Amino acid sequence: TLTLVLPVSGRVLLREVQALTLHRGQYTTSRRTAAVPQLQCTGGSAGCSRIPEVVQCYNKGWDGYDVQWQCKADLKNTYRFGRLEVSCEGYDYPDDPYILRGSCSLLFRLELTEEGERKAKSSGSFGSGYYQSGKDSSDSGVGAIVVIVLLALAFGVYKLFLSNQQPQESFGDSDGFTRPFWQSQQAPPPPGFKSSFTEGNGFGTHSSHETNSGPGFWTGLGAGGLLGYLAGSNR
């Protein structure tokens, strides 16, 4: 009896595959499993925004367990491949030494080279320095305006209190004693009341003619607000 062994279409011995050409945006062929992208970026310091158009992987030898692959692509000097893993679909079972033709895909990490790291650091420091400089300039301009407004407010309140401090006029009384103007204008006390009650330091009379000894409450408040703002700006 003659038995004919016909070649199986798409069945390839993995260790005999000399090169693989993989394309971005294209999917693998599949027989037992679902198709996957031929190029899959899994991260890295350069991110996955610069996936190359084409990657070629070359068979560099057999280690007794798996093929050793070397992959190359047209990358800028600032990028390089990190960890690489070529995965192919076993024809009849997962560890089948025969694979389905066109079923290989590449999982890789994209890393920055030393040149890329220098460029990334310089661009990052320039951006942060420019932002910080602009922020400091803006803060200093606003701070100067606030200081000027507070100084003008304190000066105005100070001048207002100085203008209200008029000298008290005194007039001579018939008994030869000099009395303040506000006491000379008072009416005589009614019969039965002591004159010391109306001529003394009563609540209504004394509080309305108190002498100011300094700039006053509002000036102190303005100066305190100014000092508090300056202390916060220094921090």
Give the pLDDT confidence of 78-107 residue by residue, as tens digits: 999 999 999 999 999 999 999 999 999 999
170: left (phi over 0), alpha (psi -120 to 50) or beta: beta
Confidence of residue 147 (pLDDT cuts 50, 70, 90): confident
Based on C-alpha coordinates, what's the Rg of the chain?
47
Which of residues 25 and 1 earns the better pLDDT score? Answer: 25
The pLDDT assigned to 188 comes to: 54
Nearest to 100 by CA among 13, 201, 195: 13
Please check whether residue 201 is in contact with residue 207, taking contact to mean a CB–CB distance below 8 angstroms. no
Question: How many angstroms separate the CA atoms of 49 and 45, rounded?
Answer: 11
Mean of pLDDT values over 158-179 = 59
Q: Could you tell me where the DSSP H helices lie in 23-113?
A: none
Question: How many angstroms separate the CA atoms of 105 and 24, rounded?
Answer: 10
Which of residues 1 and 45 earns the better pLDDT score? Answer: 45
Is the pLDDT at 221 greater than 70? The verdict is no
For the segment 28-59, what is each residue's pLDDT rounded down to a tens digit? 999 999 999 999 999 999 999 899 999 999 99
Percent of all residues in the chain with a pLDDT value above 90, rounded to a whole number: 43
189's tokens: 């006390």
Amino acid at 12: V
Question: How many angstroms separate the CA atoms of 142 and 43, rounded?
Answer: 44
Amino acid at 154: A
Confidence of residue 4 (pLDDT cuts 50, 70, 90): very low
**67: helix, strand or coil:** strand
Question: How many angstroms separate the CA atoms of 156 and 153, rounded?
Answer: 5
Confidence of residue 138 (pLDDT cuts 50, 70, 90): low
Residues whose CB falls within 8 Å of the CB of residue 4, separated by 6 or more in sequence, listed in order: none
Question: How many angstroms separate the CA atoms of 60 and 69, rounded?
Answer: 6
Is the pLDDT at 210 greater than 90? The verdict is no
- Taking CB atoms within 8 Å and a gap of at least 24, the contacts of 225-229 are 225/150, 226/147, 226/150, 226/151, 226/154, 229/143, 229/146, 229/147, 229/150
Question: How many angstroms separate the CA atoms of 37 and 160, rounded?
Answer: 81
Query: Which of 7-11, 26-30, 125-129, 215-219 has maximum average pLDDT?
Result: 26-30
Confidence of residue 109 (pLDDT cuts 50, 70, 90): very high
Mean of pLDDT values over 121-140 = 56
Return mean pLDDT, the chain: 74
Cα 59 to chain centroid, rounded:
48
Percent of all residues in the chain with a pLDDT value above 70, rounded to a whole number: 58
Kindly tell me the sign of the dihedral angle through the C-alpha atoms of 50, 55, 59, 62. positive
